[in-house]
């Protein structure tokens, strides 16, 4: 079993992992020998704070170890990706990869002999979405009758959040005037539309009126944010998405808590004031990445893993 998109995970897989994440958080001592002697290989083509640290510390807390690989200092860059992945899987029990392109992640997974976890690519961020369900569960005490409104650009985070919510019974409304080109997944949207839990609108005020959570992410993915060649597109997006910023005046129209996967780009998709405010739970989300990733590792390579 891999965790590449979340689309192949059943509702039971998702709900059981989220429940286990909560158990990991409250009873870490029960899991301290869960992955004794096991090794997680972590391969990064892009930067990371949360994903790397949450996996590295998480597997150590389970009794295992992590090996960090920066793509640029490996031979992945010049060799056949499947050959290199197969070799890596002879050293490690599980691989987590943050790749620029989803098709390269798929290729890596085809070469690997061990489970592969998507640590965020251009299309999906499943670990984030599972962690976010954990954060919602912990705040609401249930995932029933929960409503999350995702505001801004339809991107990798939005894709995975839509899959996670609709499979977990959480109502999700998206207020997304545009999608990030590489993230487009028409089949995912069609599937969401059949769930009865998914809505699309540009009427922001109506959407947030009964929201439990409002969620946003960067309008420009990390690999482009500081890229001078992306400047014109960045400026265009700022123009398009500025009306969808989460700011204090928007929060006056709802009691919702504010979610953000981080890193936040203050002054763009969200203001500093909102990020520093009592209703922002982004730091809890970041902490929960570690608990959920421990649960994910247990599910994929733990002693009671599904065959
Ligand atoms: N949210 C998230 O994945 O953060 P990093 O990019 O820091 O890993
Ligand atoms: N959409 C963001 C998510 C970061 C965790 C990006 O890809 O940069």
Q: Which residues of 216-235 are buried (b: 16+ CB within 10 A; e: fewer)?
A: bbbbbbeeeeeeeeeeeebe
Q: Could you tell me the residue ranges of all domains in the chain?
A: 6-124+289-306, 127-286
Question: pLDDT value at position 305?
Answer: 67
C-alpha–C-alpha distance, residues 265 and 5, integer Å: 25
Atom of ligand 2 nearest to the CA of 50: 5
Atom of ligand 2 nearest to the CA of 155: 1
Residue nearest to atom 3 of ligand 1 (CA): 51
* Ligand 1 centroid, distance to 132 Cα (angstroms): 13
Distance between start and end Cα atoms, the chain: 8
Mapping DSSP onto H, E and C, the string for 37-91 reads: CCEEEEEECCCCCHHHHHHHHHHHHCCCEEEEEEHHHCHHHCCCHHHHHHHHHHH
CATH topology agreement for domains 6-124+289-306 and 127-286: yes
C-alpha–C-alpha distance, residues 184 and 181, integer Å: 6
Ligand 2 neighbour 157 (Cβ under 6 A): yes
Mean pLDDT, 10 residues at a time, the chain of 307 residues: 97 98 98 97 97 98 98 95 98 98 98 98 98 98 98 98 98 98 97 98 98 98 92 96 98 98 97 98 98 98 74
* Ligand 1 centroid, distance to 96 Cα (angstroms): 13
Q: How far is CA 287 from CA 53, 107, 117, 170, 213, in A?
A: 10, 30, 19, 21, 18
The radius of gyration of the chain's CA atoms, rounded to the nearest angstrom, is 19
Question: pLDDT value at position 194?
Answer: 98
Q: Indicate the CATH number of 6-124+289-306 among 3.40.50.970, 3.20.20.140, 3.40.50.11750, 3.40.50.1370.
A: 3.40.50.1370
Ligand 2 neighbour 158 (Cβ under 6 A): no
Question: pLDDT value at position 307?
Answer: 43
Candidate of 122, 216, 217, 282 to mutate for ligand 2, largest count of ligand atoms within 8 Å of Cβ: 217
Partners of residue 200 on adjacent β-strands: 174
Region at 63 (left for phi over 0; alpha for psi -120 to 50; beta for the rest): left
C-alpha–C-alpha distance, residues 290 and 52, integer Å: 10
* Ligand 1 centroid, distance to 99 Cα (angstroms): 13
Question: pLDDT value at position 304?
Answer: 81
Candidate of 44, 118, 289, 293 to mutate for ligand 1, largest count of ligand atoms within 8 Å of Cβ: 289
Ligand 1 neighbour 195 (Cβ under 6 A): no
Q: How far is CA 218 from CA 208, 267, 284, in A?
A: 19, 11, 18
* Ligand 1 centroid, distance to 307 Cα (angstroms): 30
Ligand 2 neighbour 160 (Cβ under 6 A): no
Residue nearest to atom 7 of ligand 2 (CA): 221
Q: Which CATH class is domain 127-286?
A: alpha beta
Ligand 1 neighbour 50 (Cβ under 6 A): yes
Ligand 2 neighbour 54 (Cβ under 6 A): no
């Amino acid at each position: 079993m891999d965790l590449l998109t979340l689309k192949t995970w059943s509702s039971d897989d998702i709900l059981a992992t989220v429940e286990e994440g909560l158990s990991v958080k409250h009873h870490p001592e029960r899991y301290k020998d869960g992955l004794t002697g096991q090794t997680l290989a972590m391969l990064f083509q892009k930067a990371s704070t949360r994903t790397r640290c949450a996996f590295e510390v998480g597997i150590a807390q389970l009794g295992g170890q992590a090996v960090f690989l920066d793509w640029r200092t490996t031979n992945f860059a010049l060799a056949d990706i499947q050959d290199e992945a197969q070799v890596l899987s002879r050293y490690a029990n599980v691989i987590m990869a943050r790749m620029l392109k989803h098709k390269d992640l798929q290729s890596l997974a085809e070469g690997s002999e061990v489970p592969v976890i998507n640590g965020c690519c251009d299309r999906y961020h499943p670990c984030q979405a599972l962690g976010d369900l954990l954060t919602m569960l912990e705040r609401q005490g249930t995932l029933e009758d929960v409503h999350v409104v995702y505001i801004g650009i339809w991107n990798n985070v939005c894709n995975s959040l839509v899959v996670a919510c609709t499979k977990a019974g959480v109502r999700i409304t998206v207020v997304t005037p545009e999608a990030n080109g590489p993230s487009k997944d028409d089949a995912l949207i069609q599937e969401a539309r059949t769930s009865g839990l998914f809505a699309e609108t540009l009427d922001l005020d109506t959407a947030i009126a009964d929201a439990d959570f409002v969620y946003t992410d960067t309008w420009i993915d990390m690999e482009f944010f500081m890229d001078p060649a992306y400047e014109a597109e960045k400026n265009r997006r700022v123009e398009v998405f500025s009306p969808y910023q989460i700011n204090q005046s928007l929060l006056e129209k709802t009691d919702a808590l504010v979610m953000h996967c981080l890193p936040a780009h203050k002054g763009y998709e969200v203001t500093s004031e909102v990020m520093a405010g009592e209703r922002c739970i982004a730091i809890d989300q970041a902490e929960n990445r570690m608990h959920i990733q421990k649960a994910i590792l247990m599910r994929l390579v733990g002693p009671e893993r599904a065959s």
